[in-house]
Structure 1
Amino acid sequence: MQIRNYLLALCLTLVGTSYAQSPILRQMIEAQQADNEILLDSLINQMYAKSSTLDWASYFDSLSASIDSDSILIDFYYDVAAPIITGKSASEAITLIDEGIRLSEGIDHKMLTAEGLELKAFALSQFGRFDESIALFYQALRLIDPKLHGGLYASTLANLASTLHEMGDNEKSIDYHRKSLAYHQDTGDLRGEALSYLGLGNAYSGGPNYDSALYYYEKTIKLSKPNGWNDLEAYSYGNMASVYLEQNLLQKAIDYQKKGLAMEEERNDEVISIESHANLASAYAQLQNRDLAMYHLDRAKQIVEKYDAWHTMVMVYEIESEAYKSFGQYDLALAAYKQFKTLGDSLSGEEVQRNKLALQEQYEAEKKENEILTLQQQNQLATLDLEQGRMEKMRLTILAGVALLACGGFIFGFIQTRRSKRALDKRNLIITDINKKLNASQDALMESNKMKDKFFALIAHDIRGPLTSFQGIGRMLHYQMKKGDTQKVNQLIEQVDKSADKVNHLLDNLLKWTLNQLGTLPYQPQEINLQLLIDDAVTIFAPSARAKEVELIVDSIYEEEGVWVRADINMIGTVLRNLLSNAIKFTPRLGQVTIAIESRSDQLIVHVRDTGIGMSEEAKSRIMEESLNASATGTDGEKGTGLGLILCRKFVEIHGSQLNVTIHEGTTVSFSLELVKTSILHEQ
């Protein structure tokens, strides 16, 4: 990663230059081809201090002219993109990765394609786009032959495991890290083995299983120290410090973090040191050492601003708020908290803005298509006018011939007139058909525009509610913290969690609905364990059910080896989450929500039932419609856009099934869908 940081620095120095005017670039390319990392360090450090702005077009024009191999150019694209994935130039990074993937597919180089897919998957995971990230990791794994490229296969498994850890699925993360470790040990890759130990430590720390986490961090240090891998040793010390912080063993946390920070500073790895400074600030604040806490917070902020690492700044603001609170400076704590929320909302809001732009682009494209149809109709009418004029002249000629040629000319003219009439009728039918298509297209465009306006209104209303709640809760937190009422503060924190869950669920549905509307949501069926998907969905909504005193019941044909179906894991996961969320929403307190699996020959039927308030026939019919309508209010006043059930119906139809709704005795509502059962079992 350090080499890639230097690569970026070199790119930043090339503004206004060309390849012929940059001898250091020639040396840089030669060092890259020779895989001489020490020379690369030396050359790029010479230029690092001069970097200012980045002119992508002029740099890559000169780079393309100077490299005679597509594979070398692809390597450069990936190397330049890697270090800026989490900065302000992340969109340019993904553009470079996509260009590298395009070139790799053009020369049919599976390994470079897989490397690009893995890098893009990592980039998307940094922005919380986990579903897309996981799909790309699996796509990369399918391209790699583990017998021929065990190292690349193992590193992809490790990155997939790290992404699962970020998603909170630590059990699967541990499983994939162990698979990666086995490949590294088989190939004798000691550094890969050390990286796998580090990943296992991270996964166990999220369990949390602190003893196991510390054990694997110590194994990483033991393997790294004699091999001179200071980066892995520094990461391990820092992660051990984080574990001790969680256990409130503050002095141990400080001692280990100082070791890690010293190594990072020795390696000039400033971006990684941000978290080290943040950990030290948190520990010193809890020990009431204001001077050292503020010193490390200031250092973290300086490095963030230097490298545009604004996603990391969210963590720094959060720790700063906690530090001020521990010092009793509640006004400053509130100010830092507001910065934490503002920056976090700003970064997450970028995704919503991209979706709005995508919808607008779709609208503009449809508008242009209709304009083209209108022009085609006008051309057809003009051609028809010319044809009719020509036919009129032909009739006059025929009449003159009748006077001269008598009966023979009359018969000839009659035959020609009939032929012309048939041609004219045929053209009239074509024009009528064009008019019908144009009218239908215009109606569809108007309906699409109405749906867009209504959609934006519903989304704005539903997002504004939780955000307004955040503002009110913030003021109440400030007031209750001054009063020292811990019980009230905890209640308000639970309200913040609920509001955040609502916004997250809404944005997830919004993203999938937008991708489905644009036709860019991939359908990737595979053999999946339906039992695990149901467990994941139940785990997510168990807190909501407990808060509402609703009993969640799982009634299925569970087997030790799992219940396997052929389906798209992301789509069916979304269906299960939305159906559970909807059932809990309309079930009163002390009610029940049941999710059951029924087996029929080669089909598995999933049922989600609730003992709620029932459903009218009108509401049942709206579920089958395309249009967006604000859903009914839940039993505790919950609101929604109705988008979740639309997604459920769409995703179930993509699987060749139907979303069935059954109403029992007026109050019990059951949603069901059929999936193809498979007996193919393999290790996930």
Structure 2
Amino acid sequence: MLKKAIFLIIVFITSVLSVEAQKADLAAEWDWFEALEKHIHEANAEELLENKQEKLQSAKDIERSDIESRLSKELAFIHINKTNDLEKAMSMLIRALEIDESVDNETALIFTYLGFYQLFEQVEDYYYGKEFLEKASNILRNYDFPPLRLYINQKLGLTYYFIGETGKSIEQHQNILEYAEAERIPKIEAEAHTDLATIYANENVYEKALEHFKNALTIYRRIKSPFKEAECLNAIGDIYLMQNNQDKAYENYLVALDILKNLPKNNAHLAVLYNSVARYYLKENNAERALANLRLANPLAQTSQNQGLIQETYALLSKAYKVEKNYKMALEYSELYKALEDFLQKEKNDRSILKMQSRYSLNQKQSLIDKLELNRIQKEFELEEEKRFKNFLIIMVVLIAIILLLILTLFILQRKNNRRLKVANLKVKAQNDELEDLNATKDKFFSIISHDLKGPLNSLTSFSGLLMNHTSSLSTEEIQMLAKDLDKSLKNLFALLENLLQWSRSQTGNIEFTAEEFNVTEMLLENKKLLEKQAQNKNISIEVKNTKPISAKAHINSISTVIRNLLSNAIKFTAEDGQIKMGIVEEKNRYVVKIADNGVGMPKEVASKIFRIDTKHSTQGTAKEKGTGLGLILCKEFVEKNGGEIWVKSEEGKGTIFSFSIPKN
């Protein structure tokens, strides 16, 4: 009896330790998965791929299959979410699946299945995606880990709805709702109510939809989430409108509008609400009030760049003008609606073709997954057979296994903790380095701005003081001279502000550098014409050599800004009766634009610093024109954004040649 009791105690302790170790592994995998999703969203795809591929090769070299499995999954998630190279993602996931199944690593296998789900979700093949989610869910039944269970249930709820299994979708969301209510997680609870309300509304079960939307609204008010509150009110208003209860619909729309008007960055939300109010007025046959709201909605929809919202606004405008018997405007917006519909349909068709191609490629490799799954099932069967022949021998081995398992568990936990600590330290160091660079750039930037703004503003203050206090004692010629100086200061200030605005827009990502085909020669001629008057004031000739058309592909406005800045600088630093020559040289993979002058030139030490923001260099022109300090920095920024480079050759007293390249492709 004593021996049996000891044996049972040992088995129980082993079981508890094993479960706790698996739970710790699952928690670590979940932390890794969440951190990876965030990192992929924030980081650059090329850097991510290069870093992970190097680590993957190292893992293969040292034959660490566990590290290889994780890195294969990381590369797969990068290809799915960043590069959209689904075939590579499939290959990586298949390799991870081979490793995870060969070592029977269930916790790792869950996240491999989630990778396959994301892959098939990308091509809208929700049936295959559902299979992998269900496999992950089945494994997770052996573990008590709510965060991952919630994540999988939410994905299953959406997937079931997409494949038409509405009942299962509702069941999943109700399970999530019950858990959130029991654990008092208001955000998850509100989201579950919203998802259920949306499903019931789409199924025309309006009473249940209203019930869930109102419950979500109560929670969002309690946790102070105004955007979500406004969305719920709008949805409730829409349901009342579908039930022909116009008064209640209008009340909800007005409350939602009052909330949104006090919130920033809400153009799309406001446009949706104005459209909803317009629909209400159209139901009331009040075309005038409907149009008033649609005129507010249209510019907001355009600003949001939400094509579906713009299309909806066009349709409502056409309908409203038709009710008002303004058939010309009704036809105009109807045509806009149809044109946008054709464009969106073409985009949809193009996406469908690409998805079909990707789906075909993935299905070609599906047989490999099926083969691996068959091997896994066969392996499980063989293991079950072996268990029938194992009895007392296992009991004897357990004693040794306990010690080894404890050592191994401690070793794995320590290694994982060390790895996570190392990653965290590297991340903190990288963030500190980035912050130091940003602070240095910010300090230099504000130094340039304060210095360059002070000059023209002091001049303007002095000139205006002279004009105010000594007008009676100044001659007409002196006033004209002051006016010319004022004009120069204002133009210099305007040039500074224009370059500052362009630079800040490029830094904040507000300029989208979309390449378009254009004639480089024509751009040189246009900028010559634009600045010819400025050159004539100093009797400087500007010549464009070789005027045959040369076609390139880049962001037009930024390249024009570069040419204008360089030409303006050439005029500024060229003495009277000087010459400026502009031309284009074709090289193997690029065009090189050259702007040469016979002006004052500059020393080599100055030429090496003029494109850097961490140094300040601004020189007066030959007619005492003042530089902005940002022009050449902006030129370098714009040229590099277009995939080119910029450089300068100069000799003091003989002139300067600025050159920049534009890639042919």
TM interval, short-chain normalised: 0.3 to 0.5
TM-score computed with the length of structure 1 as normaliser = 0.41
TM-score (norm 2): 0.42
Q: Pick 1 or 2: higher relative contact order, CA cutoff 8 A, min separation 6.
A: 2
